[in-house]
Amino acid sequence: MAASFLLPVTVIGYIVGIVLAILRTVYRSRTARRFASIVFAVTWIFHTVAVVREGIVEGRLPLANMAEYLLVLGWIVLTLHLYLWYRLEVEISGVVLLPLAAIMTFVSMELMRSEPARSAATPDGWFLFHTTVSTLGMAFLSVAFAMSVIYLVQDRVLKSKKAFRLLDRLPSLQKSDQIGVRSLTVGFILLTMGIGTGVVVNAEVHERLVVMGAKQIFPVLAWLVFAAILIFRPMLGFRGRKSAYLTIAGFALGLLTVIGMTL
């Protein structure tokens, strides 16, 4: 289990970071940006220490149960947010992506608190590979989701010709689209690998392929949605709002998979 103070401090870091990101977006405050950068860095350090400590204490990769999965997923999402914030200068991700990471970390913390002894078997072989690629895939799909939300906001502002000031706080439409599609592509590849290895793990555990419910159905549905976006984009020029809505729908199916894992 992560040290008792690490996750609460991380969650507080997320909350402060989100408030600063909102202040930066609304008021374009340089001070808020400076402090946000510091808070993000400190939060990332605490989250990293929490993940590493969890791995050391359990003596394995911390991906054996839902609490650990969300802890690691939140950490990857935060890392991707930092990349967007510093490298790609998409500061609005602090308002969209960071709350996602915060919720994941908070739920992870609550699960650890409510079920302190829910350690599962040590993941190895295909299962380890399956959980790793699935977690990474979900993190990249989170970025695709965030960029789709941003895209839809931009589209609405540009179409309605109101609240132009908001446009100054957002990346260009094209940039949102590009980052979204790249994240979706990486996420889709990882999801494909995750589903493929999931089938192998399923067959290994049950000695035959068992389709039990949400855990198997939702990822396949999400995969079909993402595949449709990526195939029809170059073929039929499937872009813009439709593509953004479908990405959000695909991500929602991905989330249902995660929720399905806990049931």
Partner 1 sequence: MLILIGSNHRSAPVAVRERMSFPLQKLPEAHDGLLRAEGVQEGMILSTCNRVEILVRSAGEAGASAAAVKSFLAEQQNLSFEEIDRYTYQLVEGDAVRHLFSVASGLDSMIMGEPQILGQVKQAYQMGKENKTIGPVLDRLLQHCLSTAKKVRTDTGISRNAVSVAYAAVELARKIFGDLEGRSAMLLGAGEMGDLVGRHLVTNGASELIVCSRTFTNAVLRAEAMGGKAIHWEEALDHLRRVDILVSCTGASHAVLEKQDVAKALRGRRLGPLFLIDIAVPRDIDPRVNELNNVYLYDIDALQGVIESNLEERRLAAEHAKRMIGEEVMSFDRWIQSQEVTPLIVSLRETLLEVGEYELGRYRGRLGRLDDRQQKTVEELTRAIIQKILHRPIRRLRASVDRGDTLECTSLYREIFGMEQLDGEAGADPGDEAPSEASQDGPHRLLDGRNKGA
158 binds partner 1 (CB under 8 A): yes
Give the binding range for partner 1 (CB under 8 A) out of 16-24, 129-137, 167-175, 209-217. 167-175
* CB closer to partner 1, 206 vs 241: 241
E-assigned strands of 27-177?
A: none
Residue 238, SS3 per DSSP: coil
182 binds partner 1 (CB under 8 A): no
91 binds partner 1 (CB under 8 A): no
Q: What residues between 5 and 44 interact with partner 1 by CB under 8 A?
A: 28, 30
* CB closer to partner 1, 29 vs 216: 29
Angle at 207 between CA 62 and CA 257, to 5 degrees: 45
Write down the least CB distance from residue 151 to partner 1, Å.
10
Report the alpha-carbon distance of residue 164 to residue 78 in Å, rounded: 29
169 binds partner 1 (CB under 8 A): no
Angle at 189 between CA 186 and CA 195, to 5 degrees: 135
Q: What is the DSSP string of 71-97?
A: HHHHHHHHHHHHIIIIIS--TTHHHHH
* CB closer to partner 1, 168 vs 207: 168
Nearest to 153 by CA among 100, 205, 209, 93: 93
Binding site for partner 1 (CB under 8 A): 28, 30, 154, 158-159, 161, 164-165, 167-168, 170-175, 177, 234, 237, 239-242
